[in-house]
């Protein structure tokens, strides 16, 4: 309202400065509706509209097949120091989030890498933690684990929707998908179809809000969680069992 009042003077709509409340009352009297602007950046992908339309089409098609599962996949770091953006309301005095610092004597890592998939059929998130950063071989292990879970449920096809991260479209992952689908056509199992979202468009990956909400739910305002507490709270929030960490080649050979 303040900026709009200044513009009204600059362009000559009014002869003298007016208050933001005057602008607000005038808009209400004219029955003008508005929403607060959101911080966002358009995707730089020139095929954004085409890819978004295909994503929406995949969601519709998968919903018509009970033996198909469409999943939104993304990786996240669960930081033990970073404080999520949140507002807290209490019955007593306002609660202040303590600033946390790294400690050289702390044996736990500052952040834990995690793979997750949001199933569009059940609206549930399945997570697996990794000992290293996201890698191609860990990505293949995660997809294989998801296929095993879905195969036990009698599913036939998994449609993976994820971003254009390098470990998603690496030669190793593409080779694993090709070999896996060839074995599925021969011996049965869960076929995997992957689709990359437009570049720079996290709002199209439905798992992103799940991570944001989870980070607010597991936080402690006055202390730093241990690594074990962090993974336990994440699994408890999503209702998932804590399974062994995924190990990449760089980790297992060291």
Is the pTM value of this prediction over 0.95? no
Tell me: do 94 and 31 sit in the same domain. no
Number of domains in the chain: 2
In a domain, 42, yes or no: no
Tell me: do 60 and 31 sit in the same domain. no
Q: What is the pLDDT of residue 236?
A: 96
In a domain, 10, yes or no: yes
Tell me: do 123 and 1 sit in the same domain. no
Tell me: do 174 and 58 sit in the same domain. yes
CA distance 54 to 67: 20
Tell me: do 196 and 223 sit in the same domain. yes
CA distance 132 to 77: 11
Tell me: do 30 and 57 sit in the same domain. no
Tell me: do 10 and 126 sit in the same domain. no
Tell me: do 103 and 226 sit in the same domain. yes
> What Å distances lie between residue 2 and 7, 11, 33, CA to CA?
9, 15, 17
Tell me: do 31 and 120 sit in the same domain. no
Per residue in 63-116, pLDDT (tens digit) is 999 999 999 999 999 998 887 766 555 566 666 666 677 777 888 889 999 999
* For residue 251, pLDDT beyond 60: no
What residue numbers bound the domain in which 218 lies?
A: 48-252
Beta bridge partners of 222: none
In a domain, 183, yes or no: yes
In a domain, 64, yes or no: yes
Residue 60 C-alpha from the chain's centroid: 21
């Amino acid at each position: 309202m303040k900026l709009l009042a200044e513009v009204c003077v600059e362009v000559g709509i009014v002869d003298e400065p007016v208050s933001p409340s005057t602008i607000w009352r005038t808009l209400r009297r004219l029955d003008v509706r508005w929403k607060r602007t959101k911080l966002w950046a358009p995707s730089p992908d020139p095929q954004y509209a085409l890819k978004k339309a295909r994503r929406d089409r995949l969601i519709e098609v998968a919903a018509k097949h009970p033996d198909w599962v469409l999943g939104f996949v993304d990786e996240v770091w669960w930081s033990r120091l970073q404080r999520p953006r949140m507002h807290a309301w209490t019955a007593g005095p306002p609660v202040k989030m303590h600033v946390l610092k790294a400690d050289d004597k702390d044996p736990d890592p500052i952040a834990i890498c995690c793979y997750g998939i949001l199933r569009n059929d059940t609206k549930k998130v399945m997570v697996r933690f990794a000992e290293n950063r996201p890698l191609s071989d860990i990505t293949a292990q995660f997809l294989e684990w998801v296929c095993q879970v879905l195969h036990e449920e009698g599913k036939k096809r998994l449609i993976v929707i994820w971003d254009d991260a390098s470990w998603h479209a690496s030669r190793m992952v593409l080779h694993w998908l090709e070999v896996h689908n060839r074995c599925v056509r021969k011996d049965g199992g869960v076929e995997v179809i992957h689709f990359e979202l437009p570049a720079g468009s996290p709002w199209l990956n439905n798992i992103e809000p799940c991570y944001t909400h989870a980070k607010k739910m597991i936080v402690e305002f006055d202390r730093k969680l241990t690594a074990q507490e962090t993974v336990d709270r994440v699994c408890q929030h999503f209702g998932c069992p804590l399974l062994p960490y995924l190990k990449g080649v760089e980790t297992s050979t060291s």
